[in-house]
């Protein structure tokens, strides 16, 4: 539930931040979403996506955020059949 709410909050916030970077409401939603997702990450083992990013980043000295952004759609596609409701 926390992961889904975190993703939803980020999905609502990020397009609004692109249009109005100083919008306090959009920034509040983004911070809330990031906090929820961070709590989830701290409470569970590493997912396929995160583990791949850390291995690739460590082996090839890749930038953290950009590596996550590039790997995410591939990891989501791989997991889609196993968790269709989440997708």
Which among 69, 7, 71, 77 has a CA at the least distance from the CA of 38? Answer: 7
- 32-57: pLDDT as tens digits: 999 999 999 888 877 888 889 999 99
Q: Give the HSE-up count for residue 43: Cα atoms under 13 Å, Cβ half-sphere.
A: 8
Three-state DSSP class for 74? helix
Question: pLDDT (tens digit, 9 = 90+) per residue, 4-19?
Answer: 999 999 999 999 999 9
Q: What is the pTM of this model?
A: 0.63
Is there a contact between 71 and 49 (Cβ–Cβ < 8 Å)? yes
Domain ranges of the chain: 1-44, 46-87
The closest of 60, 64, 59, 36 to 49, measured between CA atoms, is 64
């Amino acid at each position: 539930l926390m992961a889904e709410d975190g993703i939803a909050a980020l999905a609502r916030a990020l397009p609004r931040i692109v249009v109005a970077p100083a919008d306090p409401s959009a920034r509040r939603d983004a911070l809330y979403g990031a906090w929820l997702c961070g709590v989830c990450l701290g409470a569970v083992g590493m997912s396929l996506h995160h583990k791949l990013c850390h291995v690739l980043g460590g082996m090839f000295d890749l930038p953290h955020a950009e590596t996550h952004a590039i790997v995410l759609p591939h990891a989501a596609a791989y997991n889609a059949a196993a968790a269709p409701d989440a997708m």
